[in-house]
């Protein structure tokens, strides 16, 4: 095993600790990626707060990009030197979900505590979300990675690992938006902006962003929102109906984990509309709605994990859109930090003002 630097969570809701950890070489079907960038997602922060449970100590981080520096047997044709994006979607490829085209809900368990990471003294160390990318290197399944163009900056590419595919994928794959439909996106943060981009790319007629922050609503318009509504209004869905020409939305994309957003989401829907549940509340949180209305109006609610993407299909498509100038990625980065500054970057992310903060491993 080799020694690398990683940001380790030793106690929930406490600062991460930069320390030496041990990383095993890649096994069959695995690759080692030396990381150049990892973005900070709110899911990392939620996990590190203890809101979703999990094992400690742990290394979080799951939005990463770098270069393959070692490969195991049967590694899917990847080669040392390949630039890749690294995701948390560790799919077996053969269970009913994977075979049915839904690898984001793979049914084959993977024990992250018995993964490639160990503490400096050889103790257990959780490779959280099957990734553990708040570290200089990762060892992951070859099914978790996708090749990148050599010239694509890694900080920009890292965003494709989660926030972008989750938002764009929710609009295209989960909501199945068609040209001319109307959309409400609740939350104009990192995932919300990408849901807005996805709705625009899908050809939505009107896209209403809903958020508590006026400045974020203005930013949402730069990404494709046609209207903005303050969530602090007494009945914000009425303002959304007005923006949509007096009718409800064909789809409501809930990109935040706030229970009030989930409680209110069905109120934005039109007849036959669908609420797409993307944001992740804390475990045990409960939402309520009036089911008779959904039944009478033919409405529905559906969960969407990681945008229901197939990364080998969807990430190359999104890279192509980026290269054409049709998908904004550079504009999503709010700040660039070093690994030693990770706790500062996390605190900045918690303020809600940052779209995405990125850790650069060559930054000192």
CA distance 338 to 364: 6
Beginning with the edge strand found earlier in the chain, give each strand of the sheet holding 182-186 in spatial order: 227-230, 206-211, 182-186, 249-254, 269-277, 300-303
Q: With contact defined as beta carbons under 8 Å apart, do 31 and 139 qualify?
A: yes
CA distance 26 to 117: 11
Note the pLDDT tens digit of each residue in 266-298.
Answer: 999 999 999 999 999 988 999 998 999 999 999
Mean model confidence pLDDT for the chain: 95
Which among 6, 34, 40, 41 has a CA at the least distance from the CA of 21? 6
Complete domains list, the chain, with CATH: 2-161+328-360 (3.90.180.10), 167-304 (3.40.50.720)
pLDDT reported for residue 351:
84
pLDDT band at 246 (very low <50, low <70, confident <90, very high): very high
Bin 313: left if φ > 0, else alpha if -120 < ψ < 50, else beta: alpha
pLDDT reported for residue 338:
96
Q: Does a cis peptide bond (omega within 30 degrees of 0) precede residue 57? A: yes
364: pLDDT strictly greater than 90: no
pLDDT reported for residue 221:
96
CA distance 42 to 110: 23
Note the pLDDT tens digit of each residue in 60-110.
Answer: 999 999 999 999 999 989 999 999 999 999 999 999 999 999 999 999 999
Measured CA angle at 44 (ends 42, 48), to 5 deg = 115
Q: With contact defined as beta carbons under 8 Å apart, do 345 and 45 qualify?
A: no
Over residues 323-335, the mean pLDDT reads 95
Considering all CA atoms of the chain, what is the largest pairwise distance in Å, rounded to the nearest integer? 64
């Amino acid at each position: 095993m080799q020694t690398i630097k990683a940001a380790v969570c030793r106690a929930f809701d406490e600062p991460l600790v930069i320390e030496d950890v041990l990383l095993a070489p890649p096994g069959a079907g695995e690759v080692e990626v030396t990381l150049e960038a990892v973005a900070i997602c709110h899911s990392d922060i939620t996990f590190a707060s203890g809101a979703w449970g999990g094992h400690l100590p742990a290394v979080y981080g799951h939005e990463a990009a770098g270069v393959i520096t070692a490969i195991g047997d049967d590694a899917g044709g990847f080669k040392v030197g390949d630039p890749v994006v690294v995701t948390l979607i560790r799919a077996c490829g053969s269970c009913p979900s994977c075979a049915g085209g839904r690898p984001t809900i793979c049914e084959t368990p993977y024990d992250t505590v018995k993964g490639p990471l160990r503490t400096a003294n050889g103790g257990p160390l959780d490779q959280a979300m099957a990734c553990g990318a708040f570290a200089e290197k990762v060892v992951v399944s070859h099914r978790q990675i996708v090749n990148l163009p050599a010239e694509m900056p890694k900080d920009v590419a890292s965003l494709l690992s989660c926030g972008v595919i989750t938002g764009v994928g929710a609009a295209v794959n989960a909501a199945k938006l068609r040209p001319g439909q109307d959309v409400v996106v609740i939350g104009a943060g990192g995932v919300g902006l990408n849901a807005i981009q996805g709705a625009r790319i899908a050809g939505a007629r009107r896209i209403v962003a809903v958020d508590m922050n006026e400045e974020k609503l203005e930013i949402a318009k730069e990404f494709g929102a046609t209207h903005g509504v303050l969530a602090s209004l007494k009945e914000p869905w009425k303002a959304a109906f007005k923006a949509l020409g007096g009718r409800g939305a064909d789809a409501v994309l809930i990109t935040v984990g706030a229970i009030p957003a989930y409680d209110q989401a069905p109120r934005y829907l039109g007849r036959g509309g669908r609420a797409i549940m993307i944001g992740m509340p804390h475990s045990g949180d409960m939402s309520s709605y009036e089911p008779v209305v959904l039944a009478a109006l033919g409405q529905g609610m559906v969960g969407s994990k990681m945008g229901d993407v197939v990364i080998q299909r969807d990430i190359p498509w999104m890279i192509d859109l980026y290269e054409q100038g049709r998908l904004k990625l550079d504009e999503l980065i709010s700040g660039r930090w070093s690994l030693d500054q990770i706790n500062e970057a996390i605190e900045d992310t918690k303020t809600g003002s940052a779209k995405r903060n990125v850790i650069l491993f060559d930054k000192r």
